[in-house]
Structure 1
Amino acid sequence: MPRFAANLSLMYTEHDFLDRFAAAAADGFMAVEYLFPYDYSPGKLKAQLDQHGLTQILFNAPPGDWATGERGLASLPGREQEFRDSIARALDYASVLGNTCIHVMAGLLPAEADQARHWGLYLDNLAYAAEKAATAGCTILIEPINTRDMPGFLLNRQDEAQAARAHVGADNLRVQFDCYHCQIVEGDLSMTLQRDMPGIGHIQIAGVPDRHEPDRGEINYPYLFELIDTLGYTGWIGCEYRPRGNTSHGLRWLRDWQAMSIR
């Protein structure tokens, strides 16, 4: 049976961030993920996890200057040392919080960018990140993101991500399969999951096209949940969606799925 984790960056925004841990636990979640931990000390975050019996499963490495629109450093020439520092900082946090997965964002490219140059640097940086993460027992995740939500992002397709993983050849480099992004760019989710499952390290969900709860829209999530189970995926499924209203009230989809699964 799939295990679901609350994404505290998008869910429970009716609460202050540190209060979202308690809210997620009260709704029955046993694990959490979020974009970035760096506004808080790792000790303060770990205290929230321990107090509420939660497992930290994922966060992103520092992405550059998020406030000014940067979305990752891994493919940006001239930022190599900053990228290496970002991996060190992420691993420092992971060593306290206990998660073994770190998402590394590829970065945005200008329209006139030399794609081959950026792609080559991206692969080199991923190899560096995977090597450093391996010494800490961590996995590096890369995620294709759709160009509607994030125009100019280097990595858009699952097959591109799997090719990058194969090129680097590190056992601890995996692909983050976000059903929302994949549906917008490619569709054919069930066949892509079957093709790529050996290289998938994490799965995320949201309704399409509006990125709300996964109970409306064009994706048949009950079918996908059963398929994911059949394919032997044992990791967490991150609920990376924006609730239509109150987060807890919107979890009817999860309660219904759980009730159906135990019949």
Structure 2
Amino acid sequence: MPRFAANLSMMYTELPFTERFAAAAKDGFTAVEYLFPYDYPAQDLQKLLQDNGLTQVLFNTPPGNWAAGERGMASIPGREEEFKLGLDQALEYARALGNRTLHVMAGLIQPEQDREKHRAVYLRNLAYAALLASRDNITIVIEPINTRDIPGYFLNRQDEAQEICQEIGVENLRVQFDIYHCQIVEGDVATKLRRDMSRQHAGIGHVQIAGVPDRHEPDQQSEVNYPYLFGLLDELGYEGWIGCEYRPRAGTSEGLSWLKPWLK
């Protein structure tokens, strides 16, 4: 049976961030994820999780200057020390919140920049991150993101992400498979889930969903047949969380009719 986590960066935005935890719990969620925790003391977030009976399942490493358009540093030459400092901060929060999966954002690359140089930096930073995270039994994940939502993002395809994980070859480095991004870039989602779920020294460490093409609810107004894919994830033995990283069309709670059959 699939297990769903509310993404509090995109859902319940009609409420202040700290009130979204209770709203998610009231709607039947038992886990949450979000982009970044760093604007809040870890102990405050820990209390919100505890008070609402929620498990923290995912957040991202610091992205650099988000307001200026930066989307991670892991593949950017010259930012290695900044990346390591951000990783230390992320792991500190992860330990405090009981979070076991950490998404390392790759960053942007311009057409004129040397892709192989960026890739080499990316692999070194990922190997370093996985080593540090392994000491706390934390899994590092990397996510292919479509170029419509984030033009210039370094990592876009599932096969490339799997190859990177296999090249590094450690058990706690996996791919974050966002079905929304995969459908936009590649399609053929079910085949890729079957291909990648249990790869040695790679595989899928986290799944996210949203309706396509507009990133709304994963319901019948999406071109993706989500009930079929939920059944497939069960068939493939996926036991992780499914992050609901979508923008509700209207109120978040009012748009959860798609979820109710899966909460029973």
TM-score range, shorter chain: over 0.9
Q: CA deviation at 1:258?
A: 4.2
| Match of residue 245 from structure 2 | 240
Q: Which runs of 5+ in 2 are unaligned?
A: none
| Match of residue 192 from structure 2 | 192
Q: Is structure 2 residue 213 aligned with structure 1 residue 213?
A: no
CA RMSD of aligned residues (A): 0.7
Q: Which runs of 5+ in 1 are unaligned?
A: none
What's the secondary structure of 1:50's corresponding residue? Answer: helix
* Inter-partner Cα distance in structure 1 for 2:60 and 2:247: 18
Q: CA deviation at 1:257?
A: 4.1
The amino acid of 1:23's aligned partner reads: A
Asked whether the equivalents of residues 2 and 241 of structure 2 are also in contact (C-alpha less than 8 Å), the reply is yes
What's the secondary structure of 1:160's corresponding residue? Answer: helix
| Match of residue 208 from structure 2 | 204
* Inter-partner Cα distance in structure 2 for 1:165 and 1:5: 25
| Match of residue 173 from structure 2 | 173
Q: Any idea what the Cα deviations from partners look like across 1:64-111, whole Å, max 9, x if unmatched?
A: 111100000001111100001111000000110001100001000112
* Inter-partner Cα distance in structure 2 for 1:58 and 1:257: 21
* Inter-partner Cα distance in structure 2 for 1:180 and 1:74: 23
Asked whether the equivalents of residues 28 and 263 of structure 2 are also in contact (C-alpha less than 8 Å), the reply is no
| Match of residue 227 from structure 1 | 232
| Match of residue 98 from structure 1 | 98
| Match of residue 124 from structure 1 | 124
Q: Percent identity over the alignment?
A: 66
* Inter-partner Cα distance in structure 2 for 1:200 and 1:15: 32
Q: CA deviation at 1:256?
A: 3.5
Q: Any idea what the Cα deviations from partners look like across 1:109-163, whole Å, max 9, x if unmatched?
A: 1120100100111011100000010011111000000001111000000000000
What's the secondary structure of 2:197's corresponding residue? Answer: helix
Q: Any idea what the Cα deviations from partners look like across 1:38-74, whole Å, max 9, x if unmatched?
A: 0000000000000000000000000111110000000
What's the secondary structure of 2:180's corresponding residue? Answer: helix
* Inter-partner Cα distance in structure 2 for 1:41 and 1:19: 15
TM-score, normalised relative to structure 2: 0.97
* Inter-partner Cα distance in structure 2 for 1:217 and 1:204: 15
* Inter-partner Cα distance in structure 2 for 1:24 and 1:79: 36
* Inter-partner Cα distance in structure 2 for 1:165 and 1:182: 17
The amino acid of 2:236's aligned partner reads: L
* Inter-partner Cα distance in structure 2 for 1:13 and 1:32: 14
| Match of residue 54 from structure 1 | 54
Equivalent pairs, count:
259
What's the secondary structure of 1:37's corresponding residue? Answer: coil
* Inter-partner Cα distance in structure 2 for 1:258 and 1:21: 17
Runs of 4+ in 1 over 3 A off after TM superposition: 256-259
Q: Is structure 2 residue 33 aligned with structure 1 residue 33?
A: yes
1:149-164 matches, within 5 Å, as: 149-164=149-164
Q: Any idea what the Cα deviations from partners look like across 1:9-32, whole Å, max 9, x if unmatched?
A: 000000000000000000010000
The amino acid of 1:170's aligned partner reads: V
The amino acid of 1:200's aligned partner reads: I
